[in-house]
Structure 1
Amino acid sequence: MSHKFSVKILIYLLLLFCGLWASYLFNVAQDEENVLGQTKTNLEKLNSYIQAEFTRYQAIQTQLSLSNLVQSGLQQATAINSNELDRYLQDIQISSGASDVYLLDLSGTVIASSNWYLPHSYKGSNFAFRPYFYETIEGNEHVSFALGLRSKTRGFYFAKSVYKDGSLVGVVVMKVNASKFESDKAQLDTGTDSHFLIVDDNHIVLASDVEQWRLASLGELSPTKRKEIESSRQFENESLFPIDWRVLSPTRVKTSSHGSDALMQKRPLNKQYTLYLLHEVAPIKAAQWPRLGVTALVLILLFIVVEYTLSKLTGYRQLLFSQRSLEAEVASRKQALEQAQDALIRAAKLATIGQLSASINHEINQPLSAMSAYVASAKRLAQKGEVSKVVENMVLIQSLITRVHKIVAQLKSFSQHHDNKMLVANLKHSVDNALVIVGPELKRYGVAIQSEGLACNIWVDPFKFEQVLVNIISNACQAIVEQDNKCIYIRAVEHEGKIQLSIIDSGEGIKQHALSNIFEPFYTTKSGNGLGLGLSISKQIIESFHGKLSAHNHPQGGAEFLISLHTKNPQHD
């Protein structure tokens, strides 16, 4: 086995271990979060049940305290010798589910009890030392926990004062064994891995479904506190041994009973007691093994795919290098093509200017000659002192200068190179600019222009579009120079967000064999005049606007060039 292969195996094993460990930690954290939420829900369910039971027993006590039999029995000493009250309390004890129900007179002596028939009957016993007696005598309803002196069973004691004719005559006490709540917990579906505790303010466990925790302390009791508890005889001679209870966080605790962490939720049961619900962490961790097996399988498959991909990467790199080189070459060729196309457009512009140069020269020379004559006339008029006529000549000269300036400015703009810029332009403005360039040619041959519907917007590059118009109108002019009726019709119609612009001449039309080739590069019908690029470039320009340029013969005679353009950016529709 090669050193390189061994290193690679070690790396994959390390990655597998790290991946499994990260997956384990993540899944445990997620499951613990879910269990904590469910534990909180179960805690509320358990609390609601215990509170409902406490309320039920307190309501039964209230009914007992209002019973004439109970009131009379406490008021009349002869009731002590009567079994009627004992049997009544026995019936209440059986129907309510309590363990004992008994009555105490004002001295704390039991005068009647539901367990009257048992050897350890409470009748005659004195419980004046119990907090539930002396606190109730003082006028407070009382719920307390204690270990029975005779029964040695843990229980919650509910005490209620009894009044007869407005006078306190005694106390009715109902004891409910703590085991009732411990056995009922199994019926509340709080989870097989959960355990509950009812803890008093001295951190002593009063009730729990874990037997080892019952009457245990959640921590070491101080000698003073232990002596105080012993003097109250609440737990008699129980040792109240401490259990290993370490709180790791507000929601996590470690106990010696299970040897592992437990998730914890707690809430007050009443002013004296706190209700805890724990869920063991060990089952959560044990549930991760099947997941880890699946994760390991997925990671191994992933490593196989990665290794296979890496083995092919060398070839892919070469292919990627070739692809990038090809892309660079294509980009370079595309740039060269665009530059060549720009050069052709400029050449077509210059060719158009060259074809129109004679007419433009005549159009400029004519006002220059007129200006020369007006200047000579102005000198003579000035010598004669006819200032008003000199001013008239100056005004005429100014108008001629403006005319020449407009032709030269438009010619300069037409011949210059402009950056490509698409925008919404006015069709009439573009046509007018084109007519300034081709106007001298039209004037030279006496060609009339008729336009209609040009007051609309188009989505074009204005400078390139004007070049197309100059080319098509110039071609139309040359096609009708020998016709008697020399007219070019320019019409525009808007339909469904598009402009249909038609340029029709009054000539003989296009030869049938030329219609299919008229937009081909270097194809021309002008013998010895023209490069044959004008219409080809014009078609490319219109198509760059997402438009169309076509040519055909008009039914009423003459050639018709049809340009279809958008009124706004088609990519925003």
Structure 2
Amino acid sequence: MSLRPLIRGWPWLAGVLLLAIAAAILAGALAQRRTIAQQQIEVTQDARLRAALLDSEIARFRLLPLTLANDRDISAAIAGTGAARPALNRKLEALARVTGAPAIYVVGPDGWSIAASNWRSPRAFVGIDYHSRPYVRQAEARGEGSHFAIGSVSQRPGLYLAARTATGGVTVIKLEFDRIERAWARSGGISFVQDARQRILVTSRPGWRFATVTRATAPAAGTVALVPLGDGRVRIGGAPASYVAQMVPVSQPGWQLVQMRPVDRAVAAARLFAAAAAGASVLALGVIAWAMRQRVLATRRRTAELEAAVAERTADLRREAAERALSDARGAELREALRQANRLASLGQITASVAHETAQPVAAIRTYAETSRMLLDRDEPDEVRANLRTIAQLADRVGVVTAQLRAFSRRQTDELRPVSLAEVIDGALLIVREQLRDAVLDRPAIDPALRVVGGKVRLEQVLVNLVQNALDALAGRAERRITLTLVEEESRVRLRVADTGPGIDPAIAAGLFKPFNTSRAAGLGLGLVIAQDIMTDLGGWLHHLPAPGGAVFEIGMRRA
């Protein structure tokens, strides 16, 4: 091949080379902007996920101080009655172990702590003056309080959540974020939470804790400088590395989460790739154009190959764009589903409770109504009147149950009074009388003068639940027998409900009294939970007793 054409065309080749350099510079700048924009989108999503994780951690413990505010044991400990305070220490210790709370303690009206979950520790929070703590003063003034600080006893930072008790004391739970900080550190980048004064509280870099965020290029001691670079990036003080940063709000008032991701390496790689691709493309076009002057046929073949490569790459890019759009839409859908689940959680539990507790009386009302229609056809008005009286009693029971569920949602407790156990059993069996037609019921003779402490409707509610569960277990069995057994003691009365069913599945028995734990396809898993809560409120108990055949439950009541 002759070099003469190449020598004659060197100015043209030099122009092509300069054009390639300019294209590489322009492509690098565009690639940098695109990379930073994409990194900002990703760091925003990352920040929102980490904020959601932090919110869920705080939400797990936020209601606990309010829940303990009306606790009888805490009221007794504040009053200083008997061995209430040692017992409260043990109770708080068990509660902290179950919930995973670092510390739970109770402050008396005088500002001195009287009980704590870490009472066994050399650095126990018992006997300490807390009256000057901000969260204690806030709880005493407004009913609730929160404050982030380093503990004066534990010397560990944490968020203190407090609530005023009914007797003038304050319950406090300390929430530490070590686990979240370690998770943030493992995930890469820099994460921290700042308060309204831009003071860093929770961070993946422990050395930054309690430092103040500033934009000064020469930061003072106790500050962290995040200097804007003008293109969506920031720099930490005078360090050479740059980051993309995004700030999102947190549920704790005044808190904001800042997520930072190093971007220099990604920008450099994108610039290098884009510059090389652009320069190579321009040079390739120049070589192709130059080659076209030498060999037309070869130029056409190479042009066709290049077009095919460009078309394939365009198709790949379109597929990638479609996949990314689908992924973003799915992510948005999942996040909305999570928010919707959180919104419906509380409402669903209350609705399920109302439906569960009124289902049996409503079913009984329907049965009596159907029976009354047949009795009218047979011209038996006395029987119809008896059924109507029973329907009225059942309707009253539905009203009492819903009223008690509303009272339970307002955290109120009914006054306990002596009730006749015989009337309780009669009232419960009235509701399930129709279902008992195909079963054998053995019940003891009970002295009408035998009285227990409680509420008649709520005790009926517990007994109806146990009998209904027994009837469900006996469905389809040849022997359908339910036995009620009474055991009287000096201060307590035990009523046992046994059936001849298949018994409790061991897989269910371990969590029998946990919400939504059921072996029935149509069951809610709330009946035993509600029944046990009722018996606890009445000062009694509800236990499952092991038995060689069938299921046995024991209701324990205080004797009046």
- Please classify the TM superposition score into its range, dividing by the shorter chain length: 0.3 to 0.5
Higher relative contact order (CA 8 A, sep 6+): 2
TM-score (ref. length: structure 2)? 0.47
Structure showing greater radius of gyration is: 1
TM-score (ref. length: structure 1)? 0.46
